[in-house]
Amino acid sequence: MDELPDVTATDADGAPLRLADLPRPLVVYFYPKDDTPGCTREAQDFSALADEFAGAGVHVVGISRDTIAKHNKFTTKHALRVPLASDLDGSVTEAFGVWGERQMYGRTYMGIERATFLFDRDGHLARAWRKVKVPDHAAAVLEAARAL
């Protein structure tokens, strides 16, 4: 993937959210599930840096396959400041190549790979982080975004 895929998720109000229509530079981060320890920490880290991303002119959106209701509860519970979108039909996670077979505790299942993508002003992929480890990740993404 070299360019921002023309795919549509669902925003917090249940409306279509076409990624190609979002302001750029754009950070799209994928996470497995609302309100789990790693996903909560990641969302909190991006939220803590929301003003700095905005100051750099960078839009951030988090995406999982959770429902809008779960996203809204998660956002309220943790006072998140980054928008979350739902990929209920799986088209967004498929387009980004982050949906696939996962393994945890010896169990194999289908799920989302924790991954982040940074797109420049023209919609070209500037950087991708695959198999993300949460600690310090949001700060590394901000540093890369500022370097655009």
Q: For residue 47, what are its two tokens?
A: 């939220």
Cα–Cα distance, 71 to 17 (Å, whole number): 15
User: How many residues make up the chain in this entry?
Assistant: 148
16-18 and 99-104 beta bridge pairing: unpaired
Q: In 10 A of CB 131, how many CB atoms?
A: 7
Six-digit token string for 57: 């002119």
Task: Kindly provide the b/e burial profile for residues 66-85, where b requires at least 16 CB atoms within 10 angstroms of the residue's own CB.
Answer: bebebbeebbeeeebbbbbb
Residue of 22, 26, 27, 39 marked catalytic: 39
Instruction: For residue 39, indicate whether it is catalytic.
Output: yes
Query: What's at 20, amino acid-wise?
Result: A
Report, as residue numbers or ranges, the catalytic residues. 39
